[in-house]
Chain A
Amino acid sequence: MATLDLKHLLKIFGSEVRAVDGIDLNIRHGELISLLGPSGCGKTTTLRLVAGFIDPDGGAIEVEGEVISSPGAIVPPERRNMSMIFQSYAVWPHKTVYQNVAYGLKFRDVTIQESDQKVRKMLDIVQMGHLGERYPGELSGGQQQRVALARALVVEPSILLLDEPLSNLDANLREEMRFEIRRLHDEFHITSIYVTHDQSEAMVTSDRICLMNHGKIEQVGTAMEIYDNPETRFVAEFVGVTNSIEGSSPSPGLFDTGGDLKFKVGSNGAAGAEGKHFVSIRPHRIGIHPEGAPIDGAEGQNILVGEVTRGYFLGNSADYLVKVPGLEEPLRVEGDPSRFFPAGTKVRLAIEPDSVIPVRASEG
C-alpha cells in the first residue's frame, strides 16, 4: 500500500501533442481510482507514466512522498514494486498458468516453498487452482484475465495498474469480472489505478473516478458526485445521458437560455450559476405530465410546456423527445412507463431547481 501523487505531470508526443497536460492527482492509501475518458484523452499515457514505461516531460510522480519519475530521472519499471494488468492480458503463451503466476516472485525475496504456497493460494483465490498446469492457449479469455490478475496480485505490489483490463472480454464476462476486480480490491486493499472508457465499469469498481479529456482532468469524485454534480459540460455528457442547455446567468439562482425561458437553479449545485454557460438536466429528473392535469408542488418548480415528438416504450421506462418552445434542441425525458404519451401529445414538464445543474464549458 502506498500513496501516489501526480504533480503537474506533463507528457508531450512529437512536438506539440500534449497527451498529458499538467495534471495533478492524489491517490490515497488503498484507494482504487479510475481514469475515465474517451480514447485519446491521455488516461493510458498517464498510467504508463506511473508504470515508468515512458518518461515525463514535466512535473513529477511521487510514491510515499519520494519522486520516482521526473524529467531526466526515473526509477525503471522493475524497481517500482508495481503490478500491471494489460488490455491484451499479456499472459505468456510459452509458460503454464502456474509459471505465469510464479514469475514475479523470482525477483522477490521468497523461498521456493513460500513461492509455491503463495502461487497456489492466489490461484485458488481467482478460482484457477485446478488449471495450474494448463497453457494459456487452452484457456478462455476470462480465465486468461484471471491468470493475469493472480500474476499481478501474488507479488503483493504497493500499486496495481489496470489498463482497460476488461475491454477484450464479451459483455457477460465483463460484467462478472467487474465485480471480481472489486472483490479482490476489497480483499487486498492495494492502491490501484484503473483505466477505462466504460463509465459503468468505473462506477462499479472504483472508490473515486477521475474524468479526463484532452490530457486534462475535468473532475475527480465518487460516482455519485460525478453523476449528480458534474462540474463541466463534458463530465455531464460523458457520464450518463443528459440535456445540455446553453445560456448565461444574470443573477444567482437564475439561468437565462436567451429565449423566453429562464430556469430556476437550486442552491446545492456545485458553486452556483455565476459564470456558467450551460445547465445539465438529467432526463429522469424531468417529470412529464398530461396538459391541464395538476402537478403536485408546482410552485417552486420549473414548469415547461411542450409536445412529444418521439416516444419509445422500453418496458422499465419510457423515453421521449419533447419539443419545448424557446429551446433549440428537444429535451430528452425519461418517464414512468405505466403512463405512456405517444408522439404528438401536448405535455407539461416539471423540473426541480435542484435538478438543474449549472456546469462550466469544457476547455479545449
Chain B
Amino acid sequence: MAQQTDSFASPLAARFISARRKFDASTVVWGTIAAILLILIVKPVYHLAKQSFLLPEEDGGGWTLLNYFTAFTEPEHYYPIFSTLYISFSVGILSLILGAIIAWCISRTDVPFPNLLRNSVLMSFVTPPFLGAIAWIFLAGPRQGWINIIYRAITGAGPDDYLVDIFTVGGMVFAMTLYTFPLVFIVVLAGLNNVSSDIEDAANIAGGGTFSTMINVTLPLVMPALVAGLILGTLEAMILFGIPAVLGLPAGNHVMTTQLRAFMSSDEDMIGIAAAYSLPMLMTAFWLVYMRRHVLGRRGYATLGGKGGQRRPQRLGPWRYPVFILCSIPVLCAIVLPYFMLTTTSFLKTIGHGLSLSNLTFDNYIFIFNNDAVRISFYNTIMLALMAATAATLIAAVTSYITQRNLVRGHKYMSFLATAPIGIPGIVLAVGLFSAYTQEPFLLYGTIWIMFIAYVTKYLPLAFQTSNASLMSIHPELEECSRILGASRLQVFKDVTIPLFKAGLLASWILVFMPSLRELSASILLYTSETKVVSVMIITFYEEALLGAISAIGVILLAITSIAVLIGYKVVGRDFMRSE
C-alpha cells in the first residue's frame, strides 16, 4: 500500500499543467484538420463564385456580369435547364414509386426471398450508371438493340423500324430511374422499419382495417422518409453526368451537366460562363440537401425508432410470387440484363450478330490488355481509389473523433464542412477545382493530384457518416475507464479506441474505394491524356464507338467492384452499406 501512495499525487502536480498545454497539443491537430476541410470544401466553392464574375484573360480580365448573361440568355444554354428540371422530377417521382413499393413489400409483406431482393437492389446501387446505360444500348438501341431485333424478327418489320429507342428523353429517364431508385429504397426502407408495429397494431385494434391503417397511420409516419427519398432521387438525377452523356448526346439532348462539359471543352475560354452556369445548380443541390435534413429531422416523428418487436407481415396469399416477380423487374433491368449484355458483348466479334460460336472472340480483352491508354487508366484509377479512400478515411476519422468527443468549440462547423460536399455536384466541384488550381502557385491541373482532391472531397461525407456511426457505438466511458486505470491518452487510443474503431474505418475505406473506381462526373472535366481514369476511358471509347472494348473494360471494373463489396460484407458483416 505504501508503494502506491508514492506513485500518485505527485507534489509536482503543476508539471502536468493540463489546461494550457493540452489546449496547445490538440490545437495542432484540430487546426490541421480545419485547414484541410477549408481547402477541400471552401476553396473550390470560393473560386467557383469568384470565377463566375471574371472576364476571360484574353479579354483583359476584370469583373463582369457578362458570364451570367451569356449563360442564361442563349436558348442552347437555357434549354438544358428545362430538360434537367423535367428529367430530374420524372426520375425522382418514378424512383419514389419504385423504391417505396419494393421497400413496403419487403418490410410489410410475406413476399418470398426478401433478403435476395434487398441485396440485389443494393447491388444495382453499386453498378456504375454509365455502364448500365451502355448495356441498355445493346438492349434497346433502335438498330442493334436486342429488343428491336426480336421485334423485327417477330413482326417482320423493315430494318429501319423499331419498338423502343433508348436515345430519347424517355430512355434517359428510364435508365436514370434504374440506378436512382435504390437510394430512395434505402431511405424508405429505413423509415418503414422504424415505425413501431405497436403503432399499427393500435390502429388495428381501434378498428382500422389494413388499408385504412396504411393510409392513416403508416403513411403519415413514413411521410418524412418518402419526401426525403423524393428529394434524394431528384438531386441524384440532376447531378448525373454519365447517362445523359451516353444516351442524350447522340440525339442532341443536352442537360445541365453535359452542357457544363461543353463549356469546359470549348476551344474558347468559357470557364467564367461555366462557373456562372454552375452556381444555380450548386445552390439547388444545397437547398435540396438542406430540405431533406429538415424533413427527416422533425422532432414530431420521434416515434420512429420504437422497438418494433416481432412484426406480423401482411399476407399476400396467392399473390406472393406474382408480387415477387413484379418487384424483381427493376432489379432485372438494372443488373441482370445489363451484366449479361456486357459480358456477352465483351466476347462478341460483331455486335448484333447473335451468340454463335463463330462470333465469339477474346479480341476485345486482348485489345484492351495491349492498349497502353487502357492500362494507364486502370493504374490511375486504382491508385486514385487507394489514395482517396485512405485520405478520406483518415480525415473523416479524425474529424468525427473531434466532433463526437466535443474536443473543440467550433466542432459543429467542422462536421458541417465534412458533410457539405453532399450538396456539391461532382461536376460543379470539378469546375471549382479547375478555377482554383490552374493558377500559380497552386498549379495542379493536369496532375493526378487535382483528381485526388476531387475524389477525397466528393466522398468525404460518406466516410464521415460511416465513422460517425461507428464512433457513436464506442461509449466515451470505455476510453475513460482505460484512462483512470493508468493508461495515457496515447495508450488509450492504442488499447481501446483503435481496436473498436477498426471495423468502422474499414467500412468507410471500402465505401470510398468503391465509388472512386467509377467516378466520372468530376474526372471528365479534370483529366488530361496522362491522367485518364477507367470511367473516362469508357466515355472516350464510347465516342469512338468501340463498344466491344467498353464491354470488356466494364466486366473487369464490375469484377473489381464486386470483390470490394464481398470483402466489405466479410469484414464488416451484415451492416455493411446500411449506414447510408
Contacts and interface: CB of A to CB of B under 8 A. Distances in A.
Contacts of B3: 109
Contact of A84 (B5, B10, B475, B484): B484
Contact of A104 (B16, B486, B500): B486
Interface in A70-89: 70-84, 86-88
B62 interface: no
Contacts of A81: 4, 7-9
A2 B7 CA distance: 13
B483 interface: yes
B74 interface: no
A51 interface: yes
B485 interface: yes
A88 B477 contact: yes
Interface stretch (B17-25, B362-370, B428-436): B17-25
A64 B8 CA distance: 11
A70 B9 CA distance: 13
B169 interface: no
A92 interface: yes
A75 B19 contact: no
Contacts of B487: 78, 107
Interface string A90-109: 10111000000001101111
B1 interface: yes
B379 to A, nearest CB: 37
B573 to A, nearest CB: 14
A103 B19 contact: no
Nearest to A151: B485
B499 to A, nearest CB: 5
B8 A90 contact: no
B104 to A, nearest CB: 34
Contacts of B486: 78, 104, 106-108, 155
Interface residues of A, number: 45
Given A80-B484, A90-B480, A107-B485, A75 B9 contact: yes
B325 interface: no
Nearest to A63: B9
Contact of B499 (A63, A72, A94): A94
A66 interface: yes
B495 A103 contact: yes
Interface residues of B, number: 32
A158 interface: yes
Contacts of B5: 2, 64, 158
Interface in A46-78: 51-53, 55, 63-64, 66-68, 70-78
Nearest to B499: A94
Contacts of B477: 86-88, 90
B25 to A, nearest CB: 13
A116 interface: no
Contacts of A68: 8-9, 13
Scoring A71, A77, A155 by chain B CB atoms within 10 A of each residue's CB, the highest score goes to A77
A156 interface: yes
A90 B14 contact: no
B480 A77 contact: yes
B8 A74 contact: no
A195 to B, nearest CB: 13
A92 B1 contact: no
A184 interface: no
Contact of A78 (B9, B20, B483, B499): B483
Contacts of A108: 486
B528 interface: no
A79 B19 CA distance: 16
A75 B10 contact: yes
Contact of A74 (B16, B475, B482, B495): B16
A1 interface: yes
A155 B8 contact: no
Interface in B443-502: 475, 477-478, 480-488, 495-496, 499-500
A151 B495 CA distance: 15
A93 B478 CA distance: 9
Contacts of B482: 92, 103
Given A64-B5, A72-B17, A78-B486, A86 B10 contact: no
A103 B485 contact: yes
A30 to B, nearest CB: 12
Given A107-B487, A151-B485, A79 B16 contact: yes
A177 B353 CA distance: 79
Interface in B44-63: none
A86 B8 contact: no
A75 B13 contact: yes
Contacts of B475: 88, 90
B18 A73 contact: yes
A92 B10 contact: no
A87 B477 CA distance: 8
A13 B475 CA distance: 22
A70 B4 CA distance: 22
A66 B19 CA distance: 19
Nearest to B8: A81
Interface in B546-569: none
A161 B17 CA distance: 23
Given A75-B13, A107-B485, A107-B486, 18 more contacts: A2-B5, A51-B480, A55-B18, A55-B19, A72-B18, A72-B19, A78-B487, A80-B8, A80-B484, A81-B7, A81-B8, A86-B481, A90-B477, A92-B478, A92-B482, A155-B486, A158-B8, A161-B484
10 contacts: A63-B8, A74-B19, A92-B496, A93-B500, A94-B499, A106-B486, A107-B487, A109-B3, A152-B485, A155-B485
Enumerate the 4 nearest inter-chain pairs by beta-carbon distance, A residue then B residue, closest first: A107-B486, A104-B485, A81-B8, A90-B477
